Amino acid sequence: MPAPFFMSSGDLIADKRYDFARDLQLRGDLEGAADLMAQAAELAPNFASAWFALGELKQELNLHGEAIKAYRKAIEADPLDRHGAKLRLMRLGVEKLSDMPPAYVQSLFDQYAPRFEDALINDLGYRGPQVLLNAVVAACHTGKRPPFFKRALDLGCGTGLAARAFARNADEFVGIDLSPGMIAKARQTGLYARLEVADMVQGLAHEPAERFDLVLSADAIIYLPDLAPVLKQIARVLQPGGIAAFTTETHSGDGVIIGAGFRYAHGAKHVRDAIAAGGLTLCRLEDVSTRNENNAPVPGLVAIARKP
């Protein structure tokens, strides 16, 4: 992942205290780091980066009450919540599960874009697009030739990894992603007829009905809590007989949780129910992992559904 997101306080001394605190954190002195980070926040009360970092440090020190206060201060200082303090509060159980702050997602991936593919593939063993392709082929392959699609929509397209995996299976790709940095990288692939910077649900709402015969989403809906709204829009833009294919992270329960990686994990029942609510017919739902974290596969699902 990229370095921690940082917004200057505008106060040189406060910014230096922040840097010194991060150095102590890297050396393993969490108490010293927390003390310096608190000083930085006191010097510049609207220093969102310091409040957020203080929250993280307090969590590592198991001082959850103090962490909660710091995260709330971070949101007060930056109402757009570009650090994602709201996610930490949801993970701590003091905020209800809800949508991620769009500015957080955009900031995260704009910052991540320059080394996104290297980090995913080489550091995390990412295999989402190939998992998705294998599942689509297995679900749709009824003859000697693999399935071919006229128009494919790549939701949360990132740098274009899914389009590359499906390049021989689709004639035209449209990509939607919230991050301008990711869209810029996707454009360099030359695979997309059109690219849009938009939230997935909003981007889908602007597409014509029954326009696509394939909608893909490789590890992008892990940033959405409830899958029903996006699947309803996917069904609307699919032609009759069209295919929806996506991967998500999962857990042993039925509902939706915030995982340790601060992404949503969807229980298998939630996925099935959301597909049915969207007006799609489930063809395939399998346990599969698309990435590793801490040297272990992250539990996931691959889902293939068809519009009747």
Q: With 80 as the cut, is the pLDDT of residue 142 above it?
A: no
pLDDT of amino acid 3: 66
For 68, the domain range is: 12-96
Q: Is 150 contained in some domain?
A: yes
226 with 292, same domain: the answer is yes
User: Are residues 55 and 144 part of one domain?
Assistant: no
167 and 216 inside one domain: yes
- Mark whether 201 and 292 lie in a shared domain: yes
User: What is the Cα–Cα distance from 217 to 152, expressed in whole angstroms?
Assistant: 11
Q: How far is CA 14 from each of CA 10, 19, 33, rounded to the nearest angstrom? A: 8, 9, 13
What share of the chain has pLDDT > 90, as a percent? 88
Domain count along the chain: 2
Q: In sequence order, which residues have a C-beta less than 8 Å from that of residue 198 and are 6 or more positions away?
A: 176, 177, 178, 206
91 and 121 housed in the same domain: no
Q: Are residues 124 and 261 in the same domain?
A: yes
Q: Answer whether residue 5 is part of any domain.
A: no
Residues 17 and 90 in one domain: yes
Place of tokens 């922040």: 18
Decide if 7 is inside a domain: no
85 neighbors 71 (Cβ within 8 angstroms): yes
List, for residues 184-210, the tens digit of each pLDDT value: 999 999 999 999 999 999 999 999 999
CATH value at residue 289:
3.40.50.150
Looking at the structure, tell me whether residues 293 and 165 fall in a common domain. Answer: yes
Q: Are 240 and 307 in contact (CB under 8 A)?
A: yes
Are both 48 and 123 inside the same structural domain? no
pLDDT-based confidence at residue 172 (cuts at 50, 70, 90):
very high
Residues 215 and 182 in one domain: yes
Which two structure tokens, joined as six digits, stand for 132? 């998705």
pLDDT in tens, 47-68: 999 999 999 999 999 999 999 9
Residue 119: its pLDDT value, please? 81
